Amino acid sequence: MLKLKLIGDIDSFKPGIKEFEGELPLCFGDDGLPVTVEKGDKLSVRMSEDGGHIIYGEKVHFFRALSYIAQYGTLCFVEESSCFKKSGIMFDSSRNAVIKPETLKFMFRKMALMGLNMGMMYTEDTYEVENYPYFGYLRGAYTKAEIKELDDYADMLGIELVPCIQTLAHLECVLRWEAMAPIRDTARVLEIDNEDTYKFIAQIIKDASEPYRTKRIHIGMDEAELLGLGKYLRENGYVPAHDLMLKHLTRVNEIVKEQGLEPMIWSDMFFSSCSPDDNYYDLVAPIPQHVIDSVPDNVTLVYWHYGSVDEETDDIMIKRHKLFKARTTFAGGLSTWSGMTPGYGSAVYSAKIALRQCFKHGIDEAIATAWGDNGQECNLLSALYGFQVWAEMGYHEGIFHDEYTKSRFKACVGVDASAFIDISRLDAVDGVVPPPNFYVADPTKYMLFEDPMFELLGDDNQQFKLSPYYKKMTALMEKHRDENPRFRTMFEFFARLSAAVEKKCIWHERASKCIREKDRMTAQMLSELVPEIIAKLKELNIAWEAFWMETHKPYGYDAIEVRLGGVMARMETAGRHMKEFADGIVDTIPGLDGERIVYKSYYQQGHLNCFKFWHNIVTNGYAGVQETF
Amino acid sequence: MLKIRLNGDIAELKEGLELVLPQLNNTVIDDSGIPVNVKRGDGLLVTLNENEGSITYSKRAEFFRALSYIEQYGTSCRAEEAARLENVGVLLDLTLNGVMTPEGLARYFAKMALMGLNTAVIKQLVEVKEYPLCGYLRGRYTAEEMKQIDDYAYSLGIEVIPAMDTLAHLDRELCWPEMGGLVDSKGVICVGEENTYQFLEACLSALTAPYRSKRVFIGLDETLRIGRGKYLRKHGFKETAEIISEHVERLCPILGKLGLKPMMWSDIYLDKPNSPAVMSTAESVDIMLRADSSADTKSALETLKKFPSEVVYVGESCFKYSAVPRYDLTAGSAASDLAECISGGIKEALVLMSCEDGAEADYFAGLYLLQVYAEMAYTGKADDAQIKARFAACTGADAEAFLGLNEFDTLGGVKGNPCRLLMYQDPIIPMFEKDCEGYKFSELYGVLKTKCAAWRRENPSFAVMFEFYEKLAAMLSKKCEWHEAAGDIVRRRDCDMAKELAMTAPAIVTAIDELRQAWRTLWYDTRKAAGFEVIDVRLGGVKLRMESAGRRMQRFAEGELDDIEELSAPKLPYATFKDGTIGRVNLWRDISSSANLII
């Protein structure tokens, strides 16, 4: 363990250093190797057997410097700067999983070591707001005190924490309550031109920004479905959505300015409005001058693109953004929104393209979003390697260096990157899903939840069998669990997930076949398999709950538990049918007989697909989630 | 056992009799029976004494109604009726997850026929060769099944009018990627596009070909999303009524080719009665007036008089998103509406049988409402005692038992929907805790459970159905005990009570599963298996949550956890009416979770 004696103006670093006790192979004391610490204009670390010299351009560089010393010891010789003034992670605490403060602190520490200096807290309704008691009700909302503590912690590490809220749409969790009906346009969108709405917005902006030291605030404003077509239409007649959005933005911006804040918004509204197909990524539609003039001077535009596949799109889109006077920043993604695993393949693939374009065009702020669509089945902790990827590209002009990034991860997190990357192999099935799993196939999810009688998505004619693969992956996850005690709960979850999917796949590989072929013996085997599947699902629930509760507030786990309980009930019903078939009491099982249609999705990649939504997996009927009756 | 022998014009009645006779408790056909002379005539006339009898009927359904009078009065039977409505019956929605099998429908039709009901508009899922994903794995009907259904109905004098949505509510059809080109906005097909009418023609053709009827119901209620997606981008904003009129105009040639007269909802006619497009549309359709508690039937009928169309009254369903038949909300208003219709010259009336958000209700539980319609149609009166007596004859069951099921929501003098709220309320995040303060639902459902057991014993032909309700009451009773105790135990940090409470969890879990199994038995009794997966999943979800609740309560009792945050958190009212009684929340996704299930 290398011991350092830090010399220089280091009082402001002391609290942060203390937090790393036990997490870095470094310790500090007067009898350590003398290392001077000095403010400069970039990050520089030079070490020798006699001592060292750290120069930091900003606070977070100091912590990144520590990670370099941990990595290279007295051989350390690094000089670098980030091409991004701000680079960081957006935490989604709105898709049911509110990340526990302790877990966020852990992530902030890792971010600091990686040199990421920005965190955005995406909270649609999960923050404390006065005068609206149903706002964030039973959602595990952060209190102001919690956020203040997090902001202080982040600041100590050189990280700017920024609130990221919604001020127009994506407010279904708030608008579902009767008390909020007066400001509802539709189930998900606030009513424009309504004074109560602006009173509400003034309150949430105030309460959202209050606990943070930053004056910056992301106020959302991405495309609002059915904007102006609900209550607003009945009360006012038709006004085009884009006109309404501009009107609303102007009002909200006034509120923001009154409160002395600096707003950022998603940029799509300005581009979609110019496109005849309402397409944000329309590369040819002209942008009229009046649209350019309509963006208020003080607003920052956030260009978001999570699935970069070619250079041209980002190149042209950034150029289109530069037509506006406003500053443009970039938001990419960590592919945490498709099933239970982080899509490392696709996240890296897209980041390589997008960040390089950002560098080329001088975009100086880039955030990696971690949306948790459909219930946050993918825990952000499992995407930790993605943080490193994002960070290192910033320090290397948007270029990705594979081996280098992995060795950096070992230094910053103390774990082999391959353990984390292996997690995504649960979905990016070796030999079946072509790397980089660009279309984020998520067979783990849909094989877990697919109905045992009404099999919508699986294809039992496919040449490969998934059950042996998941058996292999279970062993792999268990190995990682045993070798990485710090992430024990996480790998145990993936091991139990894989084990449950393995058994379930056996059912799906054999069930309809044995009905077609009147194979009563296999039917008997399958009916005996059912209790095993249910047992594995129970084990999965215990492991998932443990992982959730370790990293999230408890609210929201119920959505996942209901899904697991649902599969168990279906297995029991299907098992009954299968037993009756095995015993010759019936000659068929509804759903498993009859002609099958292999699901053709948008993704043309071959065998396995991406099915993000639980309610489209478990039935072709009405699950009661998205429909409006 | 009353034995009768039918003579006369009975050849065409043979098949219907085969379906109806097994449903009669008191009457059998036998060569040694009292001779009953059957003939066609005007209206319904039935007489029977110890020596002889006669049945005169003007429509086949009246013959079977006459049989129900014989069933009711035996050898002191005399009834003479002139129906005040030409057509009376049901609008059955079998697209909401619950698909009745042809045999199940046959049993339902038999009950309808005994009541004298002669029309069944049936919204259904059918096989469409060109679009194999429509109704895929949802239990859709094959052409053979549809023919079978039509034959059953025809034999009983019932006209089956097939139905489908042709604009909105096509969520399940349009959600597949290969159907993406047809989409206007979510669940809505795009008006004015060639491929739209290709699709609808294929569907309408498949839907109507096997049925004798020359009529078809094409939906067309006004919804939020019509014309608000691709259509809006292409054509700009248009009023919904205009878009629907445009759509009907495009559909007319297709319907003409198929030789069909369409029926559609009254929404656009009540919304924009003076619009030229709407007025022109009215020339080609029959109008289905959808009645509900918020609308004024009398003034609606007034407005619709200005159109040349036949107006069909459609009364509201007694099932409000749940298995509880709300006769309290529908029977009385149906009677008064029907009186209004009859005096207003309306000739056709249907009662809607639908249960959205999971088809949780078995339609047989709504039979009492059908009886109300039948008695109003044939006698012009809806006298309680009369209806109950008729019900006994037509269904072989006690009306009090059916009316009693209403109590699942109205127990304790409430008017909301506590049954569904408490069934799905999460055991660890009880959102209705505040709303339930002051009620002892555990006791109230306990009492109801005993009643259900009695109803089950006394009505053996509905044993499977009452068994379901009994298990429902049992589950609610036990689950409510947990709900009534859990929050406060955790707030008070009462570890002894927590231990006791944790020990009750396994019994609740068992009760939930017994309900699920009884429900499955009921479902499989008259429905195809497809669609039940949604109920399985919902109850399986509650069951696992209950298990985990017990587990966490145990850990709390043992001091391993010093709080169960979701239970100790103070609760706000969620479903409370202004008068302070427990209110309504309709949808499972809103009842079962505070989480975001949509995105």
Domain A2-80 has CATH 3.30.160.230: yes
3-state secondary structure of A466: helix
Q: How confident is the model at residue A225 (pLDDT cuts 50, 70, 90)?
A: confident
The pLDDT tens digits of the residues spanning A126-174 come to 999 999 999 999 999 999 999 999 999 999 999 999 999 999 999 999 9
Cβ <8 Å between B566 and A554: yes
The pLDDT tens digits of the residues spanning B287-332 come to 999 998 777 899 999 999 999 999 999 999 999 999 999 999 999 9
Cβ <8 Å between B537 and A616: no
The pLDDT tens digits of the residues spanning A265-290 come to 999 999 998 998 889 999 999 999 99
Cβ <8 Å between B587 and A597: no
Cβ <8 Å between B594 and A139: yes
**Dist CA A532 CA A456 (whole Å):** 23
pLDDT of residue A258: 97
Task: Please state the pTM of the whole predicted model.
Answer: 0.97
- State yes or no: pLDDT of A605 exceeds 60: no
The end-to-end CA distance of chain A, in Å, is: 65
* Chain B contact set for A95 (CB, 8 A): 596, 599
**Dist CA B434 CA B432 (whole Å):** 6
* Chain A contact set for B186 (CB, 8 A): 626
CATH code for the domain defined by B2-81: 3.30.160.230
Q: State the smallest CA–CA distance between residue A534 and chain B in angstroms.
A: 11
**Dist CA B277 CA B243 (whole Å):** 9
Q: State the smallest CA–CA distance between residue B403 and chain A in angstroms.
A: 27
Q: How many CB atoms lie within 10 A of CB B328?
A: 15
Cβ <8 Å between B569 and A173: no
Q: Which residue of B has its CA nearest to A556?
A: B595
**Dist CA B224 CA B350 (whole Å):** 26
* Chain A contact set for B537 (CB, 8 A): 562-563, 565-567, 569-570, 618-619, 623
Q: Where in chain B is the domain with CATH 3.20.20.80?
A: 87-397
* Chain A contact set for B541 (CB, 8 A): 561-563, 565-566, 569
The pLDDT tens digits of the residues spanning A80-125 come to 999 999 999 999 999 999 999 999 999 999 999 999 999 999 999 9
Most B CBs within 10 A among A232, A279, A533, A558, hence the mutation to make, goes to A558
Look at chain B and count its residues.
599
* Chain B contact set for A556 (CB, 8 A): 595
Structure tokens at B523: 């479902």
Cβ <8 Å between B587 and A624: yes
**pLDDT digit of tens for each residue in chain B (599 aa)?**
999 999 998 999 999 999 999 999 999 999 999 999 999 999 999 999 999 999 999 999 999 999 999 999 999 999 999 999 999 999 999 999 999 999 999 999 999 999 999 999 999 999 999 999 999 999 999 999 999 999 999 999 999 999 999 999 999 999 988 899 999 999 999 999 999 999 999 999 999 999 999 999 999 999 999 999 999 999 999 999 999 999 999 999 999 999 999 999 999 999 999 999 999 999 999 999 999 877 789 999 999 999 999 999 999 999 999 999 999 999 999 999 999 999 999 999 999 999 999 999 999 999 999 999 999 999 999 999 999 999 999 999 999 999 999 999 999 999 999 999 999 999 999 999 999 999 999 999 999 999 999 999 999 999 999 999 999 999 999 999 999 999 999 999 999 999 999 999 999 999 999 999 999 999 999 999 999 999 999 999 999 999 999 999 999 999 999 999 999 999 999 999 999 999 999 999 999 999 998 88
pLDDT of residue B154: 98
Cβ <8 Å between B541 and A618: no
Lowest mean pLDDT among A220-234, A335-349, A487-501, A559-573: A220-234
Superfamily classification of domain A117-253: Glycosidases (3.20.20.80)
Cβ <8 Å between A620 and B137: yes
Domain B87-397 has CATH 3.40.50.150: no
> What value of ipTM does the predicted structure carry?
0.96
Domain A425-617 has CATH 1.20.120.670: yes
**Dist CA A384 CA A373 (whole Å):** 18
**Dist CA B8 CA B102 (whole Å):** 30
Q: What is the mean pLDDT of residues A480-501?
A: 98
Q: Where in chain B is the domain with CATH 1.20.120.670?
A: 407-592
Q: What is the mean pLDDT of residues A494-513?
A: 96
* Chain B contact set for A137 (CB, 8 A): 572, 594
Structure tokens at B587: 């949808």
The pLDDT tens digits of the residues spanning B359-378 come to 999 999 999 999 999 999 99
Cβ <8 Å between A138 and B543: no
**Dist CA B151 CA B569 (whole Å):** 59
Cβ <8 Å between B544 and A564: yes
Cβ <8 Å between B429 and A138: yes
DSSP A220: -
Cβ <8 Å between A624 and B139: no
Most B CBs within 10 A among A92, A98, A131, A138, hence the mutation to make, goes to A138
Domain-wise residue ranges, chain A: 2-80, 117-253, 425-617
**Dist CA B175 CA B180 (whole Å):** 7
Average pLDDT, rounded, for chain A: 95
Distances (CA, A) of B297 to B6, B274, B340: 43, 19, 8
pLDDT of residue A628: 63
**Across the interface, which of B358, B565, B599 has its CB nearest the CB of A554?**
B565
Q: Which residue of B has its CA nearest to A573?
A: B536
- State yes or no: pLDDT of A606 exceeds 90: no
**Dist CA B22 CA B441 (whole Å):** 40
Structure tokens at B212: 């004798």
* Chain A contact set for B590 (CB, 8 A): 176
Angle, nearest 10°, between helix axes B367-379 and B102-115? 40
Cβ <8 Å between B534 and A624: yes
Angle CA A126–A230–A174, to nearest 5: 15
Calculate what percentage of chain A has a pLDDT beyond 70: 98
Average pLDDT, rounded, for chain B: 97
Q: Which residue of A has its CA nearest to B537?
A: A566
Cβ <8 Å between B596 and A96: yes
* B534, amino acid identity: V
Q: Which residue of A has its CA nearest to B430?
A: A138
- State yes or no: pLDDT of A629 exceeds 60: no
Cβ <8 Å between B592 and A373: no
Total CB pairs under 8 A between chain A and B: 190
Cβ <8 Å between A597 and B595: no
Angle, nearest 10°, between helix axes A101-114 and A402-413? 130
- State yes or no: pLDDT of A78 exceeds 70: yes
**Dist CA B454 CA B474 (whole Å):** 14
Q: What is the mean pLDDT of residues A480-486?
A: 97
**Across the interface, which of B172, B428, B543 has its CB nearest the CB of A558?**
B428
* Chain A contact set for B565 (CB, 8 A): 553-554
3-state helix, strand, coil in chain A (%, to 5): 50, 15, 40
Pick the CATH number of B407-592 from 1.25.40.10, 2.60.40.10, 1.20.120.670, 3.40.960.10: 1.20.120.670
Q: Which residue of B has its CA nearest to A98?
A: B595
Distances (CA, A) of B293 to B151, B330, B476: 36, 8, 29
